[in-house]
Structure 1
Amino acid sequence: MNEDLQKNPNNNSDSLLSPFIRAQARSKIIDSKLKTFDNRFALFRLLSTIALLAIVVNYAQKSNSTTTLLLIILFLIFCLFTSWIHNIIQAKQKKWNAVALSYELSEARSQRDFDFITTQKSPWHDECIVVPKGHVYSSDLDIHTQLYLLLNTCSTKEGSQKLFSMLMEAGIQPEQTQIVIERSKNAQTLSRKTRLLRHFESLRLSESFLQKYFKLYEKKVEGENSELEEKKDSNSIVSISFRIFYAFVSICAWFIILIPAFNNFISTGNTEAFLQPIFLYTGFLLLGTLIFTPITQLATKVAQSSKTLQEIINTLNNNESIAESLQFTFLKKQAKAKIKSLNLLLDLVSLRGNPIFWVTLHIFLPFDALVCLILQLKIKNFSATLKVWENELYEFDVIASFARFASENPNSRFVTLSERKQASDQQIECTHLGHPLIATQKRICNTIKLHKSSPVVLLTGSNMAGKSTFLRTLGTNIVLANIGAPVFATKFIMPPFRLLCAIRIDDSLSEGTSYFYAEVKRLHFILNSLNNSYQNPGFFLIDEIFRGTNNKERYIGSWHIIHALFEKNSFGFISTHDLALTELDKNDSRLINMHFREHIEGLKLAFDYLIKEGPCPTTNALYIMKQHGLPVP
């Protein structure tokens, strides 16, 4: 059992529920308690602040200036402390609310409830979906509509984009095997740390995270050139030199204006003489907020990656062996110290958004000038390293999605190193192969084994018997294996195939293209793509070949397509309702017949969705017509 889903030892009705539902219920209880505590503390904070303010005002009228100043400082410190405590409570409440939602999403994903999953997708999800026109398998296999939605739990937009790009390229130009093996190995390691995965996904679902994301992206830069110029300007030597000069002047102003003003107020108690330098110093500070605005904007952009890296580091602090096995540079000891110091500065800069914090801190030091300048210099010093860490974060984001996918689907598994070494273009073997987009309780698994001497399978079968679903099962698992994600099979021995599909072909009124013409174009593309100039072998999946034409021409066209495929460096399946094509195996052993079939239970058709050898011996079209009242014999 996953470490964050330990079973309740009490033997009651709760034990019959899904572990995700039980965990969600526990998270909601904690969330509810924290929400109640948050409301009570907010009331306490309001009443205590009013009471202390009344005390300060009362004593200010009776006491000397030194006592008044001390009371004001103590009051500000109290406000800071209660605000800090309140922020911690709210952060924990939002965290547990996100954790509860994460468990709810896990249950929806395990049940393949795509309607609910869609409501909780990442805010950048749709923006990442850019399907190239005429993509050879995305629509056929529901890659961009369902598989990506099921896989994508990335906490960064760039990670989501990387995952989508991998899915689009996996069956066109598979990555190098060693890269896929390393990614799969890391994902398998992470899949055992479900608390980390839960916490990582809850980052994306957190209300605070979403607020920061929309705040960051609500004002889009009109063009890339202007963004580059702005970034270049903020990091230019002139800009940095000017900010260094302003920081020096700020320190001088603190000594020359603020400190003498406090001393004069304490010694004389003259309020009017105190206010004039205070207003002057405040105006000087407000000028600083404008000067350092580009730095705070840069800090906001850096913080998303830096804070996420810190969360990963914190969670893996007690798992040094896992951190070492992942081999990310941001998990090295020196890198962790740099990230921690950077986040400390980012936290200090974020205090600018709280007026009480901002005023109080500037009593003790020229906060903006020092912290913003140090932050800019720090980011500039290891900007290249930051870029490397960010790229590693995006890769971690992807493997965390794979790991979470594996932990939520116990029937899935990563392709082993042994299986990848056995894989060749001479033979394929899949045992108990199931469709990833079908829930476990409804998923039917099949086993296939093909040799290069018989690379083409003609798949026949009754309507609704499962032919198309089986083709999609093969294709989807090939895509998953090619990117290092878990597959749904107890054995999966396949090389990194290039995938070519003709399953879901649509006509186009706007382009004046009929279904038949669209299919011809797709088949022509498949044949041209299966030549020997490609390093990776091809795997074709053709559903209902030439369904758009008459029996005679369908037979002739299919016969020639099949014989052309014999000569290609490929394996594949062709489904058809044309039983005459099943006779081709009598004259050529390179073709294998397989089928799906139905049986009658009472007066209804029933299907086992299991693939069988040989041509299909049954049909059901007339039976279905008759059952629905059509005038057929």
Structure 2
Amino acid sequence: MDVKQRRLERLERRVARLDRQIAMLRARSDAYVRLRVGIAGVGLVITCLAFSQVGNEAGYFSAAASLLVFLVAATFHRRVQASLRRHDYWQRIQRLHRARIRLDWVHLPASRASAPPDHPFAHDLDIVGTRSLHRLLNTAVSLEGGNRLADWLLATEPDPEALTRRQALVRELTSRSHFRDRLTLYGWLAAGHPDAGITGDHVLAWFRQETATPPALRDVVLLSVLAGVTAALFIAAAQQRLPQWWMLTFLLYAGYSLFRLRELGDLFGQALSMQAVLRNLHGIFRYLEAYRFAPNSRLADLSAPFHDPRERPSAVLRRIGRIVTATSLRNNPILWTMVNAVVPWDLGFAYLLTRQRTRLSARMPVWLDTWSELEALNALAAFADLNPDYTLPVVRVGSHVEAQGIGHPLIPFEAKVGNDFSLTESGSVVLITGSNMSGKSSFLRTLGINLVLAYAGGPVNADHLDTALFRVFSTIRINDSLTEGFSYFYAEVRRLKRLLDALEAEHPYPLCFLIDEIFKGTNNRERLIGSRSYIHALAGRNGLGVVSTHDLELVQLADEIPQLRNAHFREAVVDGRMTFDYRLRPGPCPTTNALKIMQLEGLPVEIPDEARS
């Protein structure tokens, strides 16, 4: 049995087991609903009887006892509901793993990543979009984690140091499926729903916000002294030992308090709006603090900010939470007025809040950045774990691409065909010819998307991939730019000119170019002339790549260009049906199929004798 099929069956068993557990928890929750209704009903009847038949004392006791029993049942019910929610989310995580293996796009979350229209490869290789690599990979809950992953996939130049580091981290994370899934679970619980996300920039904006005139410690001390003096004078006046001097000090206290509080602006309102967000982050940070990676591992180094004993994130967030909770006294105007009339409650907590916010303004970006980095790495590690037949590539200095069993990660594994391929010299070009639908375009995308994965630090869909560091540039999917007044052909020419400029530029990293159906936007004669000249310009430069074409006349360029070699895909007609094996073979294509396709689809066409052979 295929290793991926075994992984799928394991997930199926896990989902089925969770189905049973969720059904049991739902039944228990329904039982608690009935129990609570019963307790309320019986308690009401008993309380009414106690008041009417026994007396007020018995009635109050019965009401209190009924309420206590109801609250106990409600507490246990909430625990069951929380467990049900966690199990439901956990099952959804497993279902998403299954959807990623199956390429079940209907059940995968949408990707919000995008790339500029003139990106060198993003649109051709489906890095972003509806059925894209980013959508398949992205498991991040935070917007920044998803964006970090997109940045790695869309990088136009490889970063060898970052690549090596990410590869090592992905290797360590691949076997830690429980850690990855738990981090996703805590993220969903924090966000409130699996389809919701967390935006770290929103949190950072509050920490970076400046209070117009922040309260100083001397203000708090001064008002505390005034409050103390006022209290002492009030007591003395109440005992008739002094005149009503407390009124004077109280007016000073109240006036200065109102003056300073007015200068705080909406400090407390903003803090209250952040309370839920900070409370949710607390669960994520606490999990990262508690998890222990192997000592001296790269993961231990990465997560070090969460293990600083001097300033644990969860403790800091809990401290801020307590301060914000204290400021919520404003929601009760009567109690707020009474408390602030006696002590400088608001100003004291405003001082503590601004002090904590200032202290954390440097630390919070580090914690959020570490979490985002872990989420992006988790996406690559999950991809490796769900596809155990994929491998981490060898990336080293040189001008070569050598692949064995390379396939396309966005093609279902049941229909996928792996190919061997190599380019070992700078300046070399492979010209691929082949029939319609034989696999030329898919192979170009296969090569490009695996290079993108390799440079992001992730696994590749190949038995083995050994590659140098390249800039990637593709010309596969050209769109008419009607809004700018460009025809298909002109858009293609502009794209090919950009590719040639990139190839001719002095750059430490050579270019890997992927060109599909060169100059297909013009007539046969001019396409052939233009293609010959362009391929001559490609050969022998600072790069290497693949060009596909329908023009069999171009295979003769192998006699003119030492760096060029031919390869092809072919088809066969079996029992009146066109079949393809999608195998890359050396040499020019010996067959064509355009006329055969026309004939098989019932179009009127005369097939010359040479095309029948």
| TM-score bucket (shorter structure) | 0.7 to 0.9
Asked if the contact 2:189–2:280 (Cα under 8 Å) also holds between the matched residues in 1, the reply is no
CA distance in 1: counterparts of 2:18 and 2:220, whole angstroms:
47
- Paired residue for 2:272? 296
- Work out whether 1:307 is the aligned partner of 2:307: no
For residues 66-145 of structure 1, what are the structure 2 equivalents within 5 Å?
84-117=75-108, 120-121=109-110, 125-126=111-112, 129-145=113-129
Match of 2:415 among 442, 451, 470: 442
CA contact (8 A) 2:190 2:283 kept: no
Deviation at 1:411, TM superposition (A): 1.7
Task: After superposition, give the CA deviation of every residue in 1:235-272 in whole Å (9 maximum; x if it has no partner).
Answer: x5238888899999999999xxxxxxxxxxxxxxxxxx
> Aligned in 2, Cα 1:247/1:398: closer, same or farther, shift over 3 Å?
farther
How far apart, CA to CA, are the structure 1 residues paired with 2:349 and 2:69? 23
Which amino acid is 2:57 matched to?
K
CA displacement at 1:515 relative to structure 2: 1.1
Aligned to 2:535: 562
Partner SS state of residue 139, structure 2:
coil
* 1:353 to 1:604, Cα distance in 2 relative to 1, 3 A: farther
Q: What SS class does the counterpart of residue 144 from structure 1 fall into?
A: coil
Specify the SS of the correspondent of 1:548: coil
Match of 1:237 among 193, 197, 214: 214
- Structure 2 CA distance for partners of 1:182 and 1:615, relative to 1, 3 Å: same
In structure 1, how many angstroms separate the alpha carbons of the residues matched to 2:228 and 2:18? 49
Which consecutive residues of structure 1, in runs of 5 or more, have no partner in the other structure? 8-14, 255-286
Corresponding residue number in structure 1 for 2:57 = 62
Give, in whole Å, the separation in 1 of the partners of 2:542 and 2:370. 36
Q: CA deviation at 1:430?
A: 1.0
Alignment partner, residue 500 of structure 1: 473
Distance apart, 1:339 and its partner CA: 2.2
Instruction: Give 2:165's aligned residue.
Output: 182
Give the residue type in structure 1 aligned to 2:103.
R
Work out which of the residue numbers 113, 128, 141 in structure 2 matches 1:155.
141
Q: How many residues align?
A: 562
Q: Are residues 488 and 559 of structure 1, via their aligned partners in 2, closer, same or farther at CA, if it must alter by over 3 Å?
A: same
Matched, 1:164 2:150: yes
Distance 1:192 1:52 in 2: 54
Match of 1:410 among 353, 370, 388: 388
2: CA distance between counterparts of 1:537 and 1:116?
39
Write out per-residue CA displacement over residues 586-610 of structure 1, whole angstroms, 9 at most, x where no aligned residue.
1322101000001222221211101
Deviations 1:487-541 (A, max 9, x none): 1112211122111111000112222211111111010000001124222111100
Match of 2:312 among 325, 338, 357: 338
Q: What SS is found at the alignment partner of 1:528?
A: helix
Residue 338 of structure 1 aligns to which amino acid in structure 2? Answer: R
1:253, 1:311 → 2: CA distance? 48
Q: Give the alignment of 1:2-401 within 5 angstroms.
A: 18-45=9-36, 47-48=38-39, 61-62=56-57, 84-117=75-108, 120-121=109-110, 125-126=111-112, 129-145=113-129, 146-168=132-154, 170=155, 172-175=156-159, 177-206=160-189, 209-210=192-193, 231-233=209-211, 237-238=214-215, 292-314=268-290, 316-317=291-292, 325-334=300-309, 338-345=312-319, 377-401=355-379
Distance 2:69 2:326 in 1: 18
Farther off after superposition, 376-385 or 611-620: 376-385
- Give per-residue Cα distances to partners, 1:139-193, cap 9 Å, x unaligned: 111111211110111010111122222222x2x1222x11111112112211101
Distance 1:383 1:307, change over 3 A: farther
Aligned to 2:239: none
Note if contact 1:329-1:389 (Cα within 8 Å) is conserved in structure 2: no
Alpha-carbon distance in structure 2 between the residues aligned to 1:86 and 1:342: 31
Q: Which moved more, 1:572-581 or 1:99-108?
A: 99-108
Report the aligned-residue RMSD.
Answer: 4.6
Q: In structure 1, how many angstroms separate the alpha carbons of the residues matched to 2:277 and 2:195?
A: 10
Amino acid of the structure 1 residue aligned with 2:272:
T
Q: Deviations over 1:86-126 (max 9, x none)?
A: 43322221111111112111111111111221xx34xxx43
Question: CA contact under 8 A between 1:216 and 1:300: conserved in structure 2?
Answer: no
Letter in 2 for 1:497: F
SS for the counterpart of 1:89 is: helix
Q: State the alpha-carbon separation in 1 of the partners of residues 7 and 432 from structure 2.
A: 41
Question: Given the superposition, is the C-alpha separation of residues 49 and 535 from structure 1 closer, same or farther in structure 2, using an over 3 Å criterion?
Answer: farther
TM-score under structure 1 length normalisation: 0.77
CA shift in 2, pair 1:480/1:230, >3 Å? closer
Structure 2 CA distance for aligned equivalents of residues 75 and 244 of structure 1:
48
- Partner secondary structure for residue 159 of structure 1: helix
1:307-334 Cα shifts (integer Å, max 9, x gaps)? 32223334x2486676854532234251
Q: Which residue of 2 aligns with 1:606?
A: 579
The C-alpha deviation readout for 1:435-468, integer Å capped at 9, x for no partner, is 0111222111111111216610000011111000
Give the distance between the partners of 1:137 and 1:617, measured in 2 at CA: 31
Give the structure-2-normalised TM-score.
Answer: 0.79
* Alpha-carbon distance in 2 for matches of 1:149, 1:247: 57
SS at 2:390 equivalent: coil
Rounded to whole Å, the distance in 2 between the matches of 1:164 and 1:322 is 25
Cα distance, 1:18 vs. partner?
Answer: 2.1
After TM superposition, the structure 1 = structure 2 runs for residues 465-544 of structure 1, keeping only pairs within 5 Å, are: 465-544=438-517
Does the aligned pair in 1 maintain the 2:168–2:298 contact within 8 Å?
Answer: no
Alpha-carbon shift at residue 202 of structure 1 (Å): 3.3
Bigger radius of gyration among the two: 2
| 8 Å contact kept, 1:505–1:519 | yes
- Quick one: distance in 2 between partners of 1:238 and 1:21? 58
Partner of 1:474, secondary structure, is helix
Deviation at 1:544, TM superposition (A): 0.3
- What stretches of structure 2 of length at least 5 have no aligned partner? 232-261, 337-342, 607-613
* CA shift in 2, pair 1:214/1:188, >3 Å: closer
Pair 1:602–1:568, CA change in 2 (3 A): same
Amino acid of the residue matched to residue 12 of structure 2?
I
Cα distance change on mapping 1:216 and 1:538 into 2, 3 Å: closer
Deviations 1:403-460 (A, max 9, x none): 1111111121222xxx223x412x2211111101112221111111112166100000
Deviation at 1:376, TM superposition (A): 5.5
Once residues 327 and 18 of structure 2 are traced to their aligned partners in structure 1, the CA distance between those partners, rounded to angstroms, is 31
Match of 1:308, as an amino acid?
I
**What amino acid does structure 1 have at the position aligned with 2:121?**
Y
Contact in 2 for aligned 1:406/1:412 (Cα 8 Å): yes
